[in-house]
Amino acid sequence: MKRILVVDDEIGALTLIGIMLERGGFSVLKAKDAQAALAELDKETPDLIILDVMMPGMNGIELCKVIRSRTETSMIPVLILSARGDAESVMRGMDAGANDYLPKPILHHDLVDKVRKMLDMNTVTE
């Protein structure tokens, strides 16, 4: 089972995204901020990381840069999910090293399909 690390400071969003991914057949690791995410990455190596942009302290863009700078996490696919869907925000995320960027709110099948595509998994859904 593929493991996904979800990083979001909003507990409701973290829970909802976790449920969507679990229903899609993934194992979910959760972190409420960048520091918790980095601590999790010191213990586990997920198959994909989903980041929120707007978080207190280190934001998702900065966290993405840190993930890319670490040898052990530099190749993990990163998906940014953000309420900011404007072109500038998307470019900042991609420039930071994200593999893809999706605006919130996100529909269950869109998220699961995107994650499967990013992991080169079979994209057939029931």
What separation in angstroms does the CA of 42 have from each of 18, 66, 119?
Answer: 21, 13, 21
Q: What are the extents of the domains in the chain?
A: 3-107
CB 52 within 8 A of CB 26: no
> Model-level pTM?
0.93
106 or 7: which leads in pLDDT = 7
**Residues 3-107, CATH architecture:** 3-Layer(aba) Sandwich (3.40)
pLDDT tens digits along 4-62: 999 999 999 999 999 999 999 999 999 999 999 999 999 999 999 999 999 999 999 99
Average pLDDT, the chain: 92
CA distance 57 to 17: 22
